[in-house]
A and B are shown apart, each in its own frame.
Chain A
């Protein structure tokens, strides 16, 4: 089943195109990583999927419904980011109880376990938490809600490295016990790559690629250098993504498996820079 379907999605913020003709499909029960530079359109896409924002043009379907202002999409989706606010009148414990009242699949046992593990005080108020602790608390809500579509937009903002690790562990463990569709957007791709099944790269509001992460790791390479040499070499390759830099400087990602060692030698001899998958992604994000 397709959880998310976007077709020719466009979102304008004033005169700026935040999403530009973006199409993608996400199938059920996968952990998908969403990567891209700041301002690439990651958050815009996620907020449209969550039903917060209205698309300017194109089509978006979540669980086969238009997400904007849709109660059933809202009930089956949870969107976690660092802008989340909970009422100041409620303590953290009360917030968990309230969230439990709302979400039908809520796992209170897990919520309290994580709550204690990260040593929260039940009398604390969300507003008074540090940035990192806010993120950690939001994450607890996000995981415990057991929503069929769980979206984390930069969930680890402000978290310590150790807490980030614990978070990913907790998320994966719960995913194994309760498989569901999860979208993670993050700047720390190297931290989440083990968790992911698929990865989507968006840039300037457009989708550059959407591929299984193992395939990407195995096969993607980045090339940067003289435009003519590269285009000559990759003419018959499956190019995942290509950008034009200044002047003759061109940059593209191709599938390595289609590149013979002879071609690689030739690339190196002609002064084209060659990146592994990791640097490739880093160069993109």
Chain B
């Protein structure tokens, strides 16, 4: 994993992830216009070309669609696409690491599932 040695993701990836989170949180809803590259640039103090690159990733993944001259808008199934992406990529990646680590520590599959259940329970307990 030494390729990510410096720990920071490229800024445009961070931008696209930020917009995804905003969509998941309902701050941008279906068919709503998202921030322009200029607004994002001002918000995050970055070059607008970098912000545009972040927006473009989401456009290529059909999470955003283009209205010529008006900007980028949240597409119909944006939420599903993001959830799907995160499940398949981010979560899967995390789980892969968990599985690898438990293998190294000699933790069995059942034990691992139990651990997850316990943490879930604790969280639910905290919530009430």
Query: Which A residues are within 8 Å of any B CB, using their own CB?
Result: 30-31, 168-169, 172-173, 176, 194-197, 212-214, 217-218, 256, 264, 274, 276, 278
B97 touches A (CB below 8 Å): no
Contacting pair B49 A212 (CB below 8 A): yes
Contacting pair B47 A197 (CB below 8 A): yes
Subset of 9 A-B contacts with CB under 8 Å:
A169-B45, A176-B41, A194-B11, A212-B49, A213-B50, A214-B12, A214-B49, A214-B50, A217-B10
Contacting pair B10 A31 (CB below 8 A): no
Contact of B47 among A194, A256, A274 (CB under 8 A): A194
Q: How many residues of B are in contact with the other chain, CB < 8 A?
A: 18
If over half of A's interface residues share one DSSP class (helix, strand or loop), that class is named, otherwise mixed; here it is helix
Q: Give the shortest distance, in Å, between A50 (CB) and chain B (any CB).
A: 23
Q: For chain B residues 49-101, which have a beta carbon within 8 Å of chain A?
A: 49-50, 53
- If A217-B10, A278-B6 touch, whether A31 touches B42 (CB-CB below 8 Å) is no
Cβ-closest chain B residue relative to A31: B47
Cβ-closest chain A residue relative to B46: A194
For A176, the chain B residues whose CB sits under 8 A away are 38, 41-42, 48
- If A168-B45, A194-B11 touch, whether A276 touches B50 (CB-CB below 8 Å) is no
CA distance A256 to B5 in the complex (A): 14
Q: Give the shortest distance, in Å, between A99 (CB) and chain B (any CB).
A: 26
Q: Give the shortest distance, in Å, between A176 (CB) and chain B (any CB).
A: 5
- If A195-B47, A276-B6, A278-B6 touch, whether A214 touches B11 (CB-CB below 8 Å) is yes
Contacting pair A172 B45 (CB below 8 A): yes
For A218, the chain B residues whose CB sits under 8 A away are 10
